[in-house]
Amino acid sequence: MSKILAITASPRGERSVSRALTTTFARLWSQEHPQDTILLRDIGHHPVTHVTEAWVVGSFAPPEAQTPESKAAIAVSDQLVDEFLSADRYIFGVPMYNLNIPSTFKAYIDQIVRAGKTFAVGPNGYEGLVKNKKALFITSSGGSFPSGSPMGAYNFQEPYLRAIFGFIGVTDVTFVVADSMNQGEDAAKVSREKAETALKELATKW
């Protein structure tokens, strides 16, 4: 029995492609794996707080420097980290915003990338502490960014997600991309159907 954390980052509701694909995949997964539990965290509609000065004190300052504000700020992060670490697998539904991820998802990442909790600094440098997990990124974008093409160089979303989740140890990652959403109905339909087909396969093979 696995625990899956599904995070949706689009602020849109029914119009959101990444949200629809993520919830579709969660449903397919539950049908195939009824013993698994899926926890949904909707940061698109319920964003987590940004890092504040109190948060930095809470994360890095010694106990004698802590204040009620720093303790409260870091308690939010602690809860998100505990939730993150308690999951075996992650599903992230992430739109592309300005060639990267939405700031809501960045705020979430800033809360869970924590020294001593999700990564460590040792004699050999940085070490990711989040081991033996799998992540599925379901991304959506208006344009398309084929790797190796001139447009591919503008995709900072996938390389960033691979880098930051790899940094904390999540290296088994899969991307399903619904791109071309703003390139005409036909292109959007073809791309979305391709993503849906890939997700159907992953529901049994991931």
Ligand X SMILES: Cc1cc2nc3c(=O)[nH]c(=O)nc-3n(C[C@H](O)[C@H](O)[C@H](O)COP(=O)(O)O)c2cc1C
- Site of interaction with ligand X (CB under 6 A): 10, 12, 16-19, 95-99, 140-143, 181-182
Name the closest residue to ligand X (Cβ).
95
3-state SS of 37-54 is: EEEEEECCCCCCCCCCHH
DSSP alpha helix (H) spans, 149-184: 157-167
Cβ distance to ligand X smaller for residue 26 or 181 = 181
Beta-strand (E) ranges in the chain?
A: 3-8, 37-42, 89-95, 119-122, 125-128, 134-140, 172-178
Task: Supply the minimum distance, in Å, between the C-beta of residue 172 and ligand X.
Answer: 24
Cβ distance to ligand X smaller for residue 96 or 176 = 96
Task: Supply the minimum distance, in Å, between the C-beta of residue 147 and ligand X.
Answer: 14
Cβ distance to ligand X smaller for residue 9 or 57 = 9
Task: Supply the minimum distance, in Å, between the C-beta of residue 45 and ligand X.
Answer: 12
Q: Give residue 161's identity as a one-letter amino acid code.
A: L
Residue 157, exposed/middle/buried by CB under 10 A (0-12, 13-18, 19+)? Answer: buried
Task: Supply the minimum distance, in Å, between the C-beta of residue 99 and ligand X.
Answer: 4
- Cβ–Cβ < 8 Å for 159, 165: no
Cβ distance to ligand X smaller for residue 77 or 141 = 141
